[in-house]
Structure 1
Amino acid sequence: MSAIRFEIKLHSCNDRFNNPAVRSPLVVEVDLSGPRLANDLFFVLHDDTTGRTRLSSRLTGLGLAAAVLGELMLIGRVTVELTDGWVGLALVDAAPTGDTLTQTALDHIIAEPSHRFRIWLQFLARTAYTDVAARMTADGLLHPPRGRLSRRRAPVLANTAAWPGGRLNLAIQRRQPLNLQDGVLLGLLVATSGGQLVLWDQNPTYLSASTAALPAPLQELIAQTEAAVADSVISRR
Structure 2
Amino acid sequence: MPYRRLPNTDNARIKALKTAIEKNSSLFGQDVVSLDVKKLEVMLRTFETSQNHYRASLDTQATANRKMQKLIKNARLYISHFIQVFNFCVIRNEIKKEMKFLYHLDPDNYTIPDLTSNESLLTWGENIIKGEQARLAQGGIPVYNPTIARVNVAFSQFKDAYIAQKTYQNNTGRQLEALSVQRKDVDKVLHELWNQIEAYFAYLPNEERLKKCKDFGVVYYLRKGERENEDN
TM-score range, shorter chain: under 0.3
| TM-score normalised by the chain length of structure 2 | 0.24
Higher helix share: 2
Higher Cα Rg: structure 1 or 2? Answer: 2
| TM-score normalised by the chain length of structure 1 | 0.24
Which structure ranks higher in relative contact order (CA pairs < 8 Å, sequence separation ≥ 6)? 2
